[in-house]
Amino acid sequence: MSDSSKSPINGFLMRLPAAASGALAASGDALKPAGNKFEFEPLFSTPASNLGLAADGGGGKDWILARPKESLDGGNPWDLVHETREMMAGGLGLASGATPDLIEPDLWQDWLPTIPGQPEALAAAGDVCAFEDQNQELPGRRGEFAWHLDDRFSQLAGARDLVGSDAAIVRVAHLDTGYDPDHQTLPSDFIEKRLQRNFIDGDSPDDARDPGNTGPLRNPGHGTATLALLAGGRFQFNGAGYHFDGLLGGAPQVRVVPVRVGNSVVQLTTSSVARGIQYTVQLSTKKRTRVHVISMSMGGVASQAWADAVNQAYEAGIIYVAAAGNNFSAGFFGVPTHQIVYPARFRRVIAACGVMANRKPYYDLSFGTMQGNWGPRSSMATAISAYTPNVPWARIGCNELVNMDGAGTSSATPQIAAAAALYLQVHAEELFDAQRYPEPWMRVEAVRRALFLSADKTADRGRSEKLGNGLLQAMTALEIAPATPTTLRKTPADSAGFPFLNVLSRRGLADSPEDQMVQLEATQLIQHWENTQQINPLESAVEDPDRPAEDVSPNQIIDFMERVREHPKASKVLKARANEYLDATVRTPKTPKRPTETVPPDELPPGNLPPGNLPPGESLPGESLPDKASETTPSLGSFTPPPPPFRSLHAYAVDPSLATSLETAEISEVTLKLPWEPLKPGPVGEYLEVVDVDPPSGCVYEPVDLDAPALLAQDGLPPSEGSPQFHQQMVYSVCSLTINHFERALGRKALWRPGPPKPGVHPKNDAHYVGQLRVYPHALREANAFYSPSKIALLFGYFNASSDHPGAHLPGGRIFTCLSHDIIAHETTHALLDGMHRQFLLPSNRDVHAFHEGFADCVAMLQHFTFPELVTHQIANTRGSIDAQENLLVQLASQFGHATGRRMALRDAIGKVGEKGWQLREPDPQEYETTQEPHARGRILVSAVFDALLSIYKRRTADLLRLATGGTGILRPGAIHPDLVQRLTREVTRSAQHVLTMCIRALDYCPPTDITFGEYLRAIITADHDLVANDDLGYRVSFIEAFRRRGIYPPGIRTLSEGSLRWRSPESEDPMPSKMLLDYLKELRGAGSDHLYAESRKEIFDLQREMRYQLHAWLSRHFESGADAQRDARFLGLDPEKSFEVHSARIAYRISPDGGMLPQLLMGLLQTTTQPVDPNDPHGDTMSFEGGCTVVADLRANNVRYCIRKSLQSPTRLERQQAFALGEYDSLQATYLGARSLNKESPAQDDQSSAHDDQSSAHDDQASVRDDEPFALLHRGPSL
């Protein structure tokens, strides 16, 4: 046998026609691939009826091991396989002239997952016989030895008590690393030593004992430990808080056949496992040696030899239980893969998954911790879960020692195998009756049915995703009578390749040997991944590769093939085949025939397919099939092109006013690149629904179809003020651009605020999912535009320009707010911010509404810098000094401002218009103290953010200016060089993108209510530090300085240092959270994988609500328990005696500038009380007073990073809000209760019927507008 330390393979496994294999073994001919010689050894024969793949000629097949006489050093195993196949195709080596129909490498495989820098152990394996207790970091049952046997868990103890002393003989083949015959737990009477075999060490084929090598080897005694769990006898242990005297194994009366297929370091070969399985089949040909159950706590990559052997075991009536596999946690995913390994993944095998003592799946553990495999969905149909970790683990070489740190799905497997054996013993009379069950496979299905039906399906919220059929309940299973034969269905034969990989075939009459081999290799690749920073790319490309081929979309196959050809462990032949497929599928043009009648795809009845997706040989009604003359080239199947990565659409860079000036006409238009999505006329997509109804005129404009080929070919409609369809395109494109910026910064999908609850439902019920924000381009005939929280819609107005001071516009000309990039981006930001922080609509202090307005302006302004043409033009015009003179980059809604008679843009980040024209506005610390109006106060926030951007930009370009000016830093008069313009443009664009990302990302670090500008500064600093610890370019210092210059200081800090401004970690809090609370929050990390695999925003919405429900239920119980309740309530800023809500719960995957990823869990807790506005008048007017916290948790490190509180029990904060309400709330209400009502020009222009409305009714209407539409009247008039 070759040395696994030098070569990854032990030889080649070849499947040949039965007649040819005998001739080959007898011939002694040598093969010489890569300069190495081989000797041939027969493994086993497979009847044609048991083959997983179609056999040529209908005859049986023989598996042969071609073992190297010399070591195979280096090289890709599959490259060596293909070299061997080519030699055989040339007639070398086989005396009979026949060639193998399949060759695969006989791989050395590690059962335990290994990744760089991680420990290599399944259970503790020290060099001394010292007791190892349960891992305190993982769920267990402290002080309960062998707790997994209890009726609260597997029920194995109770089930084995039902088996009498004269029970039928049931024989279990134990495929593992061997056993320790001297260990106290293993009763020698039940070990059938005469039948034991060793297929891993050639020197002792009839000795399955484990030599128990220690030292640098990993986990010696794996087989001894799993055998003790399967059939261990009486064991006594008193110590370390345990008192145990009982049977350790789940089925101690079964006969055990030890079959050694792995060495002491838990390494196996493909051939050793195949031989082990085949040996059990051979034993089953005789009644006195018949094997009934296989227990195998090992596994590896796919193998057709394994598939053929498994099929024979199934046909022989052997119940096969195999471990699902293990992986290391890399935060929210597992390495190398979380998917079930082989042979457990075969449908004819029971996959043993793990469930922990707390009834949660054995997954979502701390970074670097070993955990159990699960999935994909189709493989979980034959999976069941048993208990691990912290179960007994017998120690080899220490005859009287059983530790309590057993882990991995290795520990779960023998529990399930024991339950299967017990069921056979209890129901032997029926199950072994050949008249009742004439086919042996029926016995397999009967036992599987009982185990699956009896399993506890209530864990993990009843989901089968990670637990399969549920949790093992052995005693409950015994109560289920064996099924009648007519109800049993035979499981189809197993094969080792993913069905969809048939696309790799070259489409002959039957798959060639090479076809089958590349399919098998591609299947094996999914288990080869070691990168802890990125999820296994093949695993994420096709969610469930075991599905039928027709259920895997072409786009998923393309994605899979693209990643195969880039995989570092793929062979040259496989990469070439992947390229062939991609060339033929992605790049080959194909002209479909036109059907006689066009039917929209969404109107086709179930089972029908749109053109281009028809199965070969079928046509649409009225469409003829191609004639035979056209069939000169074999069809590669229907071609569906992949969607493009983005959609290009024309838009105004700022607004239409630039097109009317010769100086700016060339930069008036931009082409936006937006994420691709299919659109219906409107446009209507996943996030947006444009509805073009004009209520004042009664018009309904025809919706634009941006998926029309003519528009796709020219990047949509050209900009036009007179085309309603372009207006629709404009709002869609800018809204989509803004959404994309938010999603990239936040690391998750954007969701809108939930819709209003249905009548009769609690008013706070937010279960109404709203998938699309409605956008009305022509909703208002007035100088206004606003976001409507009640309608979850954007409403844009149009009006006539001022006749007195129209600026550059036609006096009295029509102005459309839906054509202003700035207004659209501003209103979209309101909607996005409201979807994240609904409580930011409650004006609890002067900053709340000002923050909404200022933040929306920041996003709109910073998006200017994403338009290269505009930035280049303005950099050239200002000679790089964008803070020294009036320019378009720092102005918002220029057309709107001039058209309403302001003689300047609506808002300007750095300047103002005075008697001497435009003037630079100097920071004034007193302005923050005295300014009240939300838009004006919001402008302070905008100027601070822009000031920070300017500081960053100047720092990044200082060296350029020194080079351009010879060190003086002063540019010569005149235009600056175009190369300098381009470099300055690049730097300011990058700076603005970073600042925009920082501003948006900070929203997740804000308190859930009562936001202030100072707290937003802390959020910016903390959020940026979490992703970029080294602030070498001074971004955070620039923000701190800019806010300080405007008198914005966060409350409760002692200095303005970066360290003081960052939110405090729980370790530095007073009080600190309890361990119970921190442990529970760590458990919520499991939601990370749920969100990662969510298929839609609706599913994400539902997952978030479920997470909120679970958190609320746990906290409610925790607060009622009394243990640490007061302490944790103070930490969370809550009053434990009052009701509370989990206002938000989100998962985010943030990407740092260097490409690193930070997975986070974000939760918002909220509590509301009613307090008097005047503390001296407790029976007077009241106000809502809210408190709570935002919790930020790191899913990778599995800890809580911050708890950002607004304490409900803070008397200081209550006094501030009462003072604000007393002194300023009335004037704020007056802002909302303006003279105009929604969608009306003014009261004077109402029709005569409105004159009959009484005053109270008018006041109610206005109050309704105030409560439901906070932005409607706030935006009305010159402020917008």
Q: Answer whether residue 1119 shows pLDDT above 90.
A: no
Radius of gyration of the chain (CA): 36
CA distance 881 to 1212: 45
> According to the model, what pLDDT value does residue 902 have?
58
pTM over 0.75: no
| Domain covering 654-750+768-836: architecture | Roll (3.10)
Q: Between the CA of residue 826 and those of 371, 480, 902, what are the distances in Å?
A: 46, 64, 19
- Residue written as token pair 């015994």: 478
- Identify the residue with better confidence: 887 or 360: 360
CA distance 53 to 63: 14
Q: Answer whether residue 626 shows pLDDT above 50.
A: no
> According to the model, what pLDDT value does residue 23 have?
56
User: φ and ψ at 467, to 5 degrees?
Assistant: -110, 0
Q: Which of 90-94, 124-128, 1240-1244 has the lowest mean pLDDT?
A: 1240-1244
Residue 222 annotated among the catalytic residues of the structure: yes
Strands 391-394 and 402-406: antiparallel
- Identify the residue with better confidence: 628 or 792: 792
User: How much of the chain exceeds pLDDT 70, in percent?
Assistant: 81
CA distance 132 to 625: 72
Q: Answer whether residue 1212 shows pLDDT above 50.
A: yes
CA distance 978 to 215: 68
Residue 768 annotated among the catalytic residues of the structure: no
pLDDT category of residue 22 using cuts at 50, 70 and 90: low
Of 62, 101, 106, 176, which is the active-site residue? 176
CA distance 777 to 820: 11
Instruction: Name the segment(s) of the chain with CATH classification 3.10.170.
Output: 654-750+768-836
In contact, 1147 and 1091? CB cutoff 8 Å: yes
Helices (H), 384-512: 408-426, 428-431, 440-454, 474-478
User: φ and ψ at 1142, to 5 degrees?
Assistant: -85, 100
- Identify the residue with better confidence: 541 or 25: 541
CA distance 1042 to 1025: 18
CA distance 1266 to 1273: 8
Q: What are the tokens at 70?
A: 């010399």
Instruction: Name the segment(s) of the chain with CATH classification 1.10.390.
Output: 841-1063
Task: Give per-residue pLDDT as tens, 1028-1072.
Answer: 888 888 999 999 999 999 999 998 888 999 999 999 988 887 778
Phi-psi region of 1206 (alpha: psi -120 to 50; beta: other; left: phi over 0): beta
Q: Between the CA of residue 162 and those of 228, 256, 473, 481, what are the distances in Å?
A: 20, 20, 14, 15
Helix (H/G/I), strand (E/B), else coil: 384: strand
> According to the model, what pLDDT value does residue 720 have?
92
Helices (H), 427-567: 428-431, 440-454, 474-478, 513-525, 537-541, 554-564
Q: Answer whether residue 1206 shows pLDDT above 50.
A: yes
Helices (H), 601-658: none
Greatest pairwise CA separation for the chain in angstroms: 111
Q: Answer whether residue 889 shows pLDDT above 50.
A: yes
In contact, 1270 and 789? CB cutoff 8 Å: yes
Q: Which of 438-442, 467-471, 592-596, 855-859 has the lowest mean pLDDT?
A: 592-596
CA distance 545 to 551: 9
Find, among 472, 36, 429, the residue nearest to 229 by Cα.
472
pLDDT category of residue 47 using cuts at 50, 70 and 90: confident
Q: Dihedral angle at the C-alpha atoms of 786, 787, 791, 792, nearest 10 degrees?
A: 160
String of DSSP letters for 706-744? TTSHHHHHTTSPPP-TT-HHHHHHHHHHHHHHHHHHHHH
Q: Which of 277-286, 460-469, 768-777, 1015-1024 has the lowest mean pLDDT?
A: 460-469
String of DSSP letters for 48-68? GGG-SSPPGGG--EEEEEEEE
Sign of torsion, CA 483 489 494 498?
Answer: negative
Phi-psi region of 331 (alpha: psi -120 to 50; beta: other; left: phi over 0): left
In contact, 796 and 823? CB cutoff 8 Å: yes
As a whole number, mean pLDDT of residues 975-990 equals: 89
> According to the model, what pLDDT value does residue 805 have?
60
Helix (H/G/I), strand (E/B), else coil: 1184: strand
Which of 48-62, 638-652, 1006-1020, 1153-1167 has the highest average model confidence (pLDDT)? Answer: 1006-1020
| Domain covering 841-1063: architecture | Orthogonal Bundle (1.10)
pLDDT category of residue 590 using cuts at 50, 70 and 90: very low
Q: Is 1249 exposed, middle or buried (0-12, 13-18, 19+ CB in 10 A)?
A: exposed
Amino acid at residue number 1203: C
As a whole number, mean pLDDT of residues 457-481 equals: 92
Which H or E run contains 1141?
Answer: strand 1141-1151
Q: Please state which CATH number belongs to domain 147-408+422-486.
A: 3.40.50.200
Helix (H/G/I), strand (E/B), else coil: 82: helix
As a whole number, mean pLDDT of residues 620-646 equals: 53
As a whole number, mean pLDDT of residues 735-761 equals: 91
CA distance 243 to 234: 13
Helix (H/G/I), strand (E/B), else coil: 877: helix
Find, among 129, 215, 127, the residue nearest to 401 by Cα.
129
Amino acid at residue number 1178: P
pLDDT category of residue 574 using cuts at 50, 70 and 90: very high
Of 264, 410, 788, 894, which is the active-site residue? 410
> According to the model, what pLDDT value does residue 695 have?
82
Residue 1118 annotated among the catalytic residues of the structure: no
CA distance 63 to 22: 11
Find, among 144, 33, 14, the residue nearest to 83 by Cα.
33
Instruction: Name the segment(s) of the chain with CATH classification 3.40.50.200.
Output: 147-408+422-486
Task: Give per-residue pLDDT as tens, 124-164.
Answer: 444 568 899 999 989 999 999 999 999 999 999 999 998 87
Q: What is the mean pLDDT of the chain?
A: 82
Hey, which residues does 816 pair with through a beta bridge? 798
CA distance 858 to 464: 46
As a whole number, mean pLDDT of residues 787-800 equals: 92
Q: Which of 78-87, 344-353, 902-911, 1144-1153 has the lowest mean pLDDT?
A: 902-911
> According to the model, what pLDDT value does residue 2 have?
44
String of DSSP letters for 1206-1236? E-TT-HHHHHHHHHHHHHHHHHHHHHHS-S-
Strands 319-323 and 293-296: parallel
pLDDT category of residue 638 using cuts at 50, 70 and 90: low
Strands 1182-1194 and 917-920: unpaired
> According to the model, what pLDDT value does residue 1236 have?
28
Helix (H/G/I), strand (E/B), else coil: 1013: helix
Which H or E run contains 1027?
Answer: helix 1013-1027
Q: Between the CA of residue 492 and those of 346, 683, 747, 841, what are the distances in Å?
A: 10, 47, 43, 59
In contact, 118 and 368? CB cutoff 8 Å: yes
Q: Answer whether residue 172 shows pLDDT above 80.
A: yes
As a whole number, mean pLDDT of residues 625-642 equals: 50
List b or e across 337-368, with b for residues whose CB sees 16 or more CB atoms inside 10 angstroms.
Answer: bbbbbbbbbbbbbbbbbbbbbebbbbbbbbbb
Percent helix, strand and coil across the chain, each to the nearest 5: 40, 15, 45
In contact, 147 and 246? CB cutoff 8 Å: no
As a whole number, mean pLDDT of residues 1157-1181 equals: 88
Q: Is 966 exposed, middle or buried (0-12, 13-18, 19+ CB in 10 A)?
A: exposed
In contact, 655 and 894? CB cutoff 8 Å: yes
- Identify the residue with better confidence: 236 or 528: 236
Q: How many CB atoms lie within 10 A of CB 192?
A: 16
Sign of torsion, CA 893 898 901 902?
Answer: positive
Of 82, 148, 183, 222, which is the active-site residue? 222
